[in-house]
Amino acid sequence: MFLYNLTLSRASGIQKAIYGNFSAPKAQEVVVSRGKVLELLRPDESGKMQIIVSTEVFGTIRALLPFRLTGANTDYIVIGSDSGRIVIIEYSKEKNMFVKVHQETFGKSGSRRIVPGEYLAVDPKGRACMIGAVEKQKLVYVLNRDTAANLTISSPLEAHKSHNIVFDICGLDCGFDNPVFAAIELDYSDADLDPSGEAASQAEKHLTYYELDLGLNHVLRKWSEPIDNGANLLVPVPGGGDGPGGVLIAADNFIIYRDQDHDEVRAVIPRRSSLPGDRGVLIVCFATHKTRKGFFFLLQSEYGDIYKVSLVYHEEVVSEVKVKYFDTLPPCASICVLKTGFLFAASEFGNHSLYQFSAIGEEADVESSSADTVATEEGYRPVFFDPRGLKNLLMVDEMESLCPIMDMQASNLLSEEIPQIYTVCGRGSRSSLRILRPGLAITELAVWQLPGQPTAVWTLKRSQADELDALIVVSFANATLVLAIGETVEEVNDSGFLGNVPTLTCQLMADDSMLQIHAGGLRHIKADKRVNEWRVPGRRSIVCATTNERQVAIALTGGELNYFELDAMGQLAEMEKKEMQCEVAAMDVGPLPPARQRSRFLAVCSVDSTIRVLSLDPADTMTVLAVQQTPSMPSSCLFLESPAAGTAGGDEGAGAGALFLHVGLSNGVLLRTEVDHVTGQLSDTRTRFLGTIAPKLLATMVAGRRSMLALSSRPWLGYSDQGRHNLSPLSFEALEYASSFASEQCPEGFVAVAKSSLRILTLERLGEVFNQSTVPLRYTPRGFALDTINKVVYVAEADHAVVPLAERTDLPAPMDDSAPKGPEQDEETSGQEQQFGGPRGSAGQWASCVRIVDPATADTVAALELDDNEGASCVCLVRFDTPGHAGTYLAVGTAQGLSFNPRQSDGGFVRIYSIGEGGRSLELLHKTRVEGIVGALAAFKGRLLVGMETTLRLYDLGKKKLLRKCEHRKLPSFVTSIQVMGERIYVGDLQESFHYMRYKRAENSLYIYADDIVPRHVTAGLLMDYDTMAGGDKFGNLFMTRLPADTSAQVEDDPTGGKFSAAGGSLNSAGHKLQDVVHFHVGDVVKALSRATLQPGGQESLLYGTLTGAIGAVLPFTSREDVDFFLHLEMHLRQEHPPLCGRDHLAYRSSYFPVKDVIDGDLCEQFAQLSAEKQRVVAEELDRTPGEVLKKLEDIRNKIM
Q: Report residue 1171: phi and psi, to 5°.
A: -65, 160
Lowest pLDDT segment from 254-268, 819-833, 993-1007: 819-833
For residue 952, the model assigns a pLDDT of: 96
For residue 646, the model assigns a pLDDT of: 39
pLDDT at residue 657 is higher than 60: no
Tell me the pLDDT tens digit for each residue of 59-75.
Answer: 999 999 999 998 888 99
Could you give the CA distance from residue 250 to residue 268 in angstroms, rounded to a whole number?
10
For residue 410, the model assigns a pLDDT of: 96
* Closest to 942 measured CA to CA, from 930, 929, 957: 957
Could you give the CA distance from residue 522 to residue 1013 in angstroms, rounded to a whole number?
78
For residue 1097, the model assigns a pLDDT of: 77
To 5 degrees, how large is the angle CA 1182–CA 1187–CA 1193? Answer: 75
CB atoms within 10 A of CB 1164: 24
What percentage of the chain has pLDDT greater than the value 70?
Answer: 97
Could you give the CA distance from residue 234 to residue 232 in angstroms, rounded to a whole number?
7
Could you give the CA distance from residue 1070 to residue 1075 in angstroms, rounded to a whole number?
13
CB atoms within 10 A of CB 583: 15
Helix axes 1186-1200, 1172-1181, angle to 10 degrees: 80
Of residues 1119 and 650, which shows the higher confidence score? 1119
CA distances from 593 to 405, 415, 567, 1029 (A): 47, 45, 17, 56
Tell me the pLDDT tens digit for each residue of 1059-1084.
Answer: 555 555 555 578 889 999 999 999 99
Lowest pLDDT segment from 595-609, 784-798, 1065-1079: 1065-1079
**Residue 344: enclosing H or E segment and its boundaries?**
strand 342-347
**Chain-wide mean pLDDT for the chain?**
90
Tell me the pLDDT tens digit for each residue of 1147-1172.
Answer: 999 999 999 999 999 999 999 889 88
* Closest to 179 measured CA to CA, from 170, 187, 188: 170
Average pLDDT rounded to a whole number, residues 633-660:
64
Could you give the CA distance from residue 668 to residue 726 in angstroms, rounded to a whole number?
18
Largest CA-CA distance found in the chain, in angstroms, rounded: 109
* Closest to 85 measured CA to CA, from 1139, 1154, 1170: 1139
Could you give the CA distance from residue 626 to residue 675 in angstroms, rounded to a whole number?
9
Could you give the CA distance from residue 491 to residue 469 in angstroms, rounded to a whole number?
15
For residue 820, the model assigns a pLDDT of: 67
For residue 702, the model assigns a pLDDT of: 87
Average pLDDT rounded to a whole number, residues 598-614:
93
| 747 Cβ contact partners less than 8 Å away, ≥ 6 residues apart | 45, 46
Average pLDDT rounded to a whole number, residues 821-842:
80
Tell me the pLDDT tens digit for each residue of 695-735.
Answer: 999 999 888 888 999 999 889 999 887 767 888 899 888 89
For residue 1062, the model assigns a pLDDT of: 54
Could you give the CA distance from residue 384 to residue 388 in angstroms, rounded to a whole number?
13
